[in-house]
Amino acid sequence: MIEAHGLTKRYGATVAVDNLSFEVNPGKVTGFLGPNGAGKSTTMRMILGLDTPTAGDVLIDGQHYSDLKRPLTKVGALLDAKWVHPNRSARAHLAWMAASNQLPKNRVDEVLEIVGLTEVAGKRAGTYSLGMSQRLGIAGALLGDPEILLFDEPVNGLDPEGIVWIRKFMHRLADEGRTVFVSSHLLSEMALTAEELVVIGRGRLISQSSTKQFVDQASGSSIKVRSPQLGQLQNLLNGGPISTRIEDVEDEGKVLFVDGKISTDQIGETAAANNIVLHELTLQRGSLEAAFMQMTGDSVQYHAHDQAGPVPPTEVVVAEEEKI
Ligand SMILES: Nc1ncnc2c1ncn2[C@@H]1O[C@H](COP(=O)(O)OP(=O)(O)OP(=O)(O)O)[C@@H](O)[C@H]1O
């Protein structure tokens, strides 16, 4: 478990992390989201004792990172994939890391096998592609078989197969009961990978919740109904704590949208009890991207000049890989 309490980091006049408190629990993949410059990397560095907080505290299972005796056996991290001596082979690099934490030598070949680098383990790390370097970084994080794993942008530079591999791999690590904390710019990837989210903007906590709650709270959801008896159904539904509207939708004709505290089950049952034929009954959830834009709108430090307007809710939770 990772616990941050009032974590703050100032660099001169810049407040990189501002009174941030959150928890990352075992058994789940927790995503760490925030616009560029929000303070994600600074927070990760403070968790790992690479930066000292100006105020506040962050603990790993109740201890500061600097107090861990053999840190690699407790926390594994991938922060910067290119943080490897370019003339060292992957095997030599991992052997050096293993020796620094009194880990058995055979663990090096095990982790190389896990990340699929066995065949190139003797090559100089400087010749690796970014994707291979990411895999080497992940191998390093796994060396001590730690309970807690931190990954900063782990899918950077990976091809689609590599992205799917890392997603499944993170789920496996969480299923084994480990704490997995991962930052990414790829919202669609986070929607598939993370069950929990810590969202920050300008160094401050915006939200900590499940991914589903985050999407539902921020962008709402509505129920879409198509039926040849729309008016009749609308009359039956009106009156409760909900709102309804009928709209003309291209290629679909008239569609009833229902917002508020009502489920698709309840609407289906109301329709059946009144012999109303339904052609469609769909819960339309917002996308993670729409929720993210809405929740972090004011905290984006560097806006693009041609920034698009708010993204409307879509039926599909996950859009194709879209960058923040
Ligand atoms: N060593 C440093 N000295 C001065 N300012 C810094 C330093 N490190 C980070 N910052 C500033 O702190 C803020 C947060 O940066 P950080 O890299 O933690 O954000 P981030 O969320 O990881 O961003 P990105 O997604 O772009 O990597 C930024 O304004 C950044 O310019």
What is the number of the ligand 1 atom nearest to the C-alpha of 200? 21
Task: Check pLDDT > 50 for residue 314.
Answer: no
pTM of structure:
0.77
pLDDT band at 162 (very low <50, low <70, confident <90, very high): confident
Taking only the tens place, the pLDDT of each residue in 4-60 is 999 999 999 999 999 999 999 999 999 999 888 899 999 999 999 999 999 999 999
CB 131, CB 159: distance < 8 Å: yes
pLDDT recorded at residue 299: 57
Out of 104-118, 158-172, 176-190, 293-307, give the one with best mean pLDDT: 104-118
Lowest mean pLDDT among 43-57, 97-111, 233-247, 264-278: 233-247
Out of 13-22, 131-140, 184-193, 249-258, give the one with best mean pLDDT: 13-22
Nearest Cα residue to atom 25 of ligand 1:
36
Mutate to test the pocket of ligand 1, among 42, 50, 185 (most ligand atoms within 8 A of CB): 42
% of the chain at pLDDT higher than 70 = 90
Identity of the residue numbered 208: Q
Taking only the tens place, the pLDDT of each residue in 203-242 is 999 989 998 888 777 666 789 999 999 999 999 998 777 8
CB 52, CB 89: distance < 8 Å: no
221-226 β-sheet, strand order? 242-249, 253-260, 221-226, 280-285
Task: Check pLDDT > 60 for residue 80.
Answer: yes
Mutate to test the pocket of ligand 1, among 8, 10, 11 (most ligand atoms within 8 A of CB): 11
Task: Check pLDDT > 50 for residue 323.
Answer: no
Nearest Cα residue to atom 28 of ligand 1:
37
CA of 42 to the centre of ligand 1 (A): 6
What is the number of the ligand 1 atom nearest to the C-alpha of 203? 14
Query: Which residues make beta-bridge pairs with 199?
Result: 33, 207
pLDDT band at 301 (very low <50, low <70, confident <90, very high): low
Mean pLDDT value across the chain: 85
Nearest Cα residue to atom 12 of ligand 1:
16
pLDDT recorded at residue 161: 85
2-11 β-sheet, strand order? 14-24, 2-11, 55-60
pLDDT recorded at residue 189: 82
pLDDT recorded at residue 321: 37
pLDDT recorded at residue 120: 87
What is the number of the ligand 1 atom nearest to the C-alpha of 41? 22
pLDDT recorded at residue 226: 95
Residues with CB under 6 A from ligand 1: 11, 14, 16, 34, 36-42
pLDDT band at 313 (very low <50, low <70, confident <90, very high): very low
pLDDT recorded at residue 218: 67
CA 279/CA 299 separation, integer angstroms: 42
